[in-house]
Structure formats: C-alpha cells, structure tokens
Structure 1
Amino acid sequence: MEKRMAGHFSKKIAVITGGASGIGLATAEALIAEGAMVVLVDRDQAALKKETDRLGGRALAQVTDLLDPDSCAAMVPEILGKTGQIDILHCNAGSYIGGDLIETTSAAIDRMLNLNINAVIKNVHDVIPHMTERGAGDIIVTCSIAGHAAIGWEPVYSASKWSMTSFVQIMRRQLSQKGIRVGQVSPGPVVSALLADWPEENLKKARENGSLIEPSDVAEAIVFMLSRPRNITIRDIVVLPSNFDI
C-alpha cells in the first residue's frame, strides 16, 4: 500500500467550490490533513463561517454565488488577492434534478445547467492564465457515473455530467503541455443533500442494500489523483458502491 508523507500538500493552495458541505467539505478536510491551505467557496455564508471556524487557520472562506455572473467572475481574482496563488481548483459545486423530464420546470433546468456546466467552464477559464503563468496546476471536476451511463431517472442531471466528461477530457488535452493536469472524479450515489430529489423508491432501495458511498470515499480518491507524480495524470476515477447496479 502506498504511503504518503505527512504534509504532502504543504505550501499548496486548494480552491474548492461547493466547499461548505458534502464532497467539497470532505475533500477540504482530507487536503488540510495533508498540509494544504484550502479556500472553501460557497454562497452559504453561515455554513462557510461554521466550517472554517471548525477547520482552523488552514481554511479560508470565499463567499461566491456561482449563479450570479458578477460574483462568479470575481471568484478567482478575489481568491488570488487573499492567497497569491492557486495550485488546485476543485470544481465541485452542483445541483440535481431527478425524475421524468416533464416533472421539472424550465427555471429548475436553467439553474442546474448553469451551475453544473456554465459555472465550471467559467471557473476553469478564469484560473487558466494564472496556472499557465506559473507552469503548474491541477484542475479536478466532480463529475458522476451519470456522465458515463444513461440513467433513466435523471435525464437533465445525466446530460449535464456527460457534458462535463467531454469538457474535462478536452481541457486535459489542451492544457497538458502547460504543466496543468485536468481530471475528473465520477462517483456513484453519495450520501449528500443532492439526493433529496431522488425518487423515494430508488433512495429507499439504495439505503437498504448499501448502494451509497460517503463523501470521504470520494475525497480519498481525489487526494490519490492529486498526489501522483507530475508525469502522471489520472484522467478519471469512477467510485461506486459495490452494490450499485449500473
């Protein structure tokens, strides 16, 4: 089994969107344990204060509403003003719509696609000049198994994650010669607030048969990706509960 030295990410600055809960928060905890300074990005100011207070001096809060164009555009410059550098960008914020397409609304569709697709593309766009100038960086996107399979009960969400699979793999090719690694992590169902819109019968079945994983399981995979030698890029890790039947 691989052993990492304590402080593997010392002097590294990691930015995590959707950082006040779920996978984002678990990843922040894992990176801090490895020595990183982490900027938690979220629109929930109260949750950010609670978690940064709990995590201590190696966690900084960045209040950003990724659905607000001005707030989204200000994110990277504001963080650089606080930290001076960004070594890792983890685009993790997202939302979920499940069920038949006809059951949702146009407004909900717009909100989810803007958060799951547009905000990610804009965040990556904004950090590229900084990472290119430094000649190094890591970009990780939280995708989903839904970005690899046609999940019958989540047509909008699955479409957004297929889009991210395409975007991440194109950017991996565009940036590979600039010292910037780009990859994605593709979890199956994770215990988080995103599952609130799951059809109740699917959620109940998943709970009963152990077909859910914890945010920390995904965070562990992300730390593995980021800790590879610079000549290695992990383009995608699919993390599934063993009983998830897809």
Structure 2
Amino acid sequence: MTKALDGKVAVVTGAASGIGLASAEAMLAAGARVVTADRDEAALKALHARHGDAVVPLVVDLLDPADCASLVPRALSAAGRIDVFHANAGTYVGGDLVDADAAAIDRMLTLNVNVVMKNVHDVLPHMIARKTGDVIVTSSLAAHYPTPWEPVYASSKWAINAFVQIVRRQVFKHGVRVGAISPGPVITGLLADWPQDKLQELKAQGSLLEASEVAEVILFMLTRPRGMTIRDVVMMPTNFDL
C-alpha cells in the first residue's frame, strides 16, 4: 500500500526529542526518509536503531555558525534532495524579564529566530530549483497572544511568525509552500522552566498537548494537494484558557 510520503525526503531539526522526534516518526510512518538533525548523538543513534536506514542521523550544533551553515549541504549530500524541511529546533526562556539570564536570552533568540531564518534561507534555493517543497516552522500559541509569563519566548515566536508570513508570499510562485504550526503547551522538556504551580495546574486539568498530536497536524499540512497551502495552524488543549 502506498503511503502518503513515499519517496519523500524530509529534514527535521531538533529531532532527538519532543515535537521534532514526534514529527520525524510520523513522517517515517508515512513513508518518508528523514534526515534527523540534533546535537544529541546518542538519541539519534537510538532513533536510527529503531527505524533503520530510513533515518539519516546528522549530529549538528545549530548554535555553532559553521555547523548551522553545513546542515543543508550535509543533508543533500546524504539524501540527495530535500522535499520537506521542518525547522523545529528551539529553546525556551520563561518567567519575569527582570529575572532572565542575559546569556540565556541571547541563546534562545539565536536558536528560535536566527537559526530558523538561516536554515530556511539555505534550503530555499534547492526547493526553488526543483519547483516544489514544503517548509514547516514550529511556532507557538505564544506567537498570537502576549503571554504574560514568557515575554522573551513569545517575542521570538512573534518574530518567526512574521518571517513565515512574508517568506510564504515570496516563494509560493515557485511551488514552495511555507507554513507554521503554533501549538499551545506541549508536554516536552521546554516546559521545564514554567512556573511549577502553573504547570501542575495545567496537568491536573488535562490542559497540555502531546507531541504526537502536533505531529499528526504537521502530517495533515504536508499531505494536502499541491494547490492548497495550510499556512497557519493554531492548536491548543480545549481546556487551556489564556
């Protein structure tokens, strides 16, 4: 039986855990070959062991400029082409701005904004030349609402939301689709910095998403007919009330 992504090659950043891992495994299940990019070599080896040669592990530190610049060329060398690029890698800084560490702010803005822009910049010429491709960016519900407890994180996602909206309008004429997935709170390691009382409250209410649920929506976005773009998806737990 033909699967929805048979013959496709995808690249997923931050693929060792959380939404990135769930996205990679959903695409693998749909028939894609997936280049998994992350700095966690052990986790990538484990993923390869589970799925075999359908997984192409690339150990990369996206915060290192040279490593970041090497990602797309290495992926193309290993897999031959890129049909899907899921720019997912990111980090989180929450809490009051006055309590935030300046170095952590700089690291987060680099990974959440600059790295995404550079990765998409690097993959677009390949997709434009082939006149087809999909770019999915992991954004956040925080990109659509001034969330009081995460001024730095929300600002990074507002920036990347603007980037997605504008780049999509530049490249759709080349057959390249660009979309963003904006989940509410997801059970991943990125919530480790949330106020514990807030986190416990949301867990008790069932007001958190699973990464696999986000991956299902990403797969829906990727499998629409080429004449259709699902440009933005905002998804949240029904009980999550801002």
- Residue in structure 2 matching 1:107, options 97, 103, 110: 103
**Residue 131 of structure 1 is aligned with which of 124, 127, 133?**
127
Residue 166 of structure 2 corresponds to residue 170 of structure 1: yes
Which residue of structure 1 lines up, in the alignment, with residue 193 of structure 2?
197
Q: Which residue of 1 aligns with 2:32?
A: 36
In 1, the alpha carbon distance for the partners of 2:44 and 2:84 equals 19
Counterparts of 1:77 and 1:228, CA distance in 2:
28
Matched, 1:231 2:231: no
TM-score, with structure 1 as normaliser = 0.97
Partner SS state of residue 57, structure 1: helix
| Residue 63 in structure 1 maps to residue 59 in structure 2 | yes
Counting aligned pairs with the same residue, the percent is 57
Match of 1:94 in 2: 90
Unpaired runs of at least 5, structure 2: none
Amino acid of the structure 1 residue aligned with 2:220: F
Aligned partner letter, 1:126 = D
Q: Which residue of 1 aligns with 2:8?
A: 12
3-state SS in 2 of match to 1:61? strand
In the TM superposition, residue 104 of structure 1 has moved relative to its aligned partner by 1.1
- Rounded to whole Å, the distance in 2 between the matches of 1:109 and 1:124 is 22
Q: How many residues matched? A: 242
Distance 1:204 1:102 in 2: 24
**Taking structure 2 as the reference length, what is the TM-score of the superposition?**
0.99
Per-residue deviation, residues 156-185 of structure 1 (Å, max 9, x unmatched)? 000000001100000110001011000000
CA distance in 2, matches of 1:60, 1:21: 16
- SS of 1:56's equivalent in the other structure is helix
Superposition deviation, residue 126 in structure 1: 0.2
* Range with bigger deviation, 38-47 or 110-119: 38-47
Match of residue 217 from structure 1: 213
Aligned equivalent of 1:154: 150
Q: 2:48, 2:97 → 1: CA distance?
A: 38
Deviation at 1:6, TM superposition (A): 4.2
Deviations 1:56-87 (A, max 9, x none): 22111011111000000000001100111000
Q: Report deviation, 1:46.
A: 1.2
Q: Distance in 1 between matches of 2:75 and 2:31?
A: 19
Q: CA deviation at 1:55?
A: 2.1
| Partner SS for 2:31 | coil
Partner Cα distance (1:29, 1:56) in 2: 12
Hey, what's the Cα distance between the residues in 2 that align with 1:176 and 1:49? Answer: 36
- Residue identity matched to 2:54: R
Structure 1 vs Structure 2 CA RMSD: 0.8
CA offset digits 1:217-240 (Å, max 9, x no partner): 000000000000000000111110
